[in-house]
Amino acid sequence: MKYALLSGVAIWLATTWLLRLPLEAAILLFAPLVLVRPALSLVETPVAGTTEQLLLRLASQAQLPAATALAASFALPQGRLAGVLALPWLAVTLLLAITGVFRLRRSGWRLNGDLGVTAALLMIAVGGGWAVLARAGLRPQDFSHAIVLLTAVHFHYAGFVLSLLAGQTIKEMSDNRSPHRLDRVMLTLILTGVPLVGVGISLSPRIEIVAAIALAIGCGLFAVRQVQVAILSQSATRTTLLALSSLALVSAMIPAAIYAFGEFTGQAWLDIPAMIRTHGAFNAFGFAACGIAGHAFARASDH
């Protein structure tokens, strides 16, 4: 995994610098190239040889080539060929979604940490689909190209990383016991808030503001629980990483709430570029990067 991670970082840096990518494109590529592989190491599977484990292994092996093809698509203008280059990444996310379906059949709909991990595997495929639409230059419901790309970003970070880390945190806090009621509330708010924000953007500012508030509360609860996990680990490295992750997440949700309320009232308090510089950057390079590193550090220490 270390080779794939270092290669992904190198490809991301080279692509971002050589192509002079805008920040929103760099944020999107950061997930497939850098974050997804170590995040998948957190996904626990049953005994060796199961379909679930084989699918996860196949997705992990295909991650770097598929993410590289997605990065290469940004060297081309939006259109058919760029969309074709994004298809391998969609295929990887669909493999993860199929893995999520197998997990759901095995574990059911119980509101626990496993459901958070399963939801992450399912929702990343939505991000993969929107990434193809963005590179192909398609505009569902006449959305702007920026909104299409940012929807892909939303489901890679809020849909995949947030749901995965929330599930992982609940599993550590419950330690094979029934999750605390507050954890179930947190997970409910996150798993309903993430898709409803996307629905609200396309259908109704009222749905968007309610979903954004629910998601912000869920993120706040998660930030506290993640810090508690870090402190209980008694590891200075892990505590620092997860504290930074939680701080970045809270910082990212403030402009998101302001933006959603502005959309509801018709007041443009924050525009899209400002959201990318604040909400997007804090989520990608603070919350997601530090959060995955902190949880992966614990997994590596255990082994």
83: confidence class by pLDDT, cuts 50, 70, 90: very high
Q: Is the pLDDT of residue 70 over 80?
A: yes
- The average pLDDT across 258-273 equals 77
**Range(s) of the domain holding residue 8:** 2-302
Largest CA distance in the chain: 55
pLDDT top residue among 254 and 30: 30
Q: Is the pLDDT of residue 303 over 60?
A: no
Mean pLDDT of the chain, nearest integer: 90
pLDDT value of position 243 = 94
- Say how many residues make up the chain: 303
Q: What is the pLDDT of residues 90-129, one digit of tens each?
A: 999 999 999 999 999 888 888 888 999 999 999 999 999 9
pLDDT value of position 3 = 73
pLDDT top residue among 48 and 197: 197
pLDDT top residue among 106 and 163: 163
- The average pLDDT across 27-40 equals 96
Give the total number of structural domains in the chain: 1
**pTM (2 decimals)?**
0.93
pLDDT value of position 206 = 77
Q: State how far the Cα of 225 lies from the Cα of 249, in Å rounded to an integer.
A: 12
Q: What percent of the chain has a predicted confidence (pLDDT) above 90?
A: 65
- The average pLDDT across 181-203 equals 88
Q: What is the pLDDT of residues 226-247, one digit of tens each?
A: 999 888 888 889 999 999 999 9
pLDDT value of position 49 = 58
Whether the Cβ atoms of residue 113 and residue 177 lie closer than 8 Å to each other: no
pLDDT value of position 299 = 64
The answer for 234, left when phi > 0, alpha when psi is -120 to 50, beta otherwise, is left
pLDDT top residue among 126 and 258: 126
Q: State how far the Cα of 116 lies from the Cα of 259, in Å rounded to an integer.
A: 26
Burial (CB < 10 A; 0-12, 13-18, 19+), residue 191, is buried
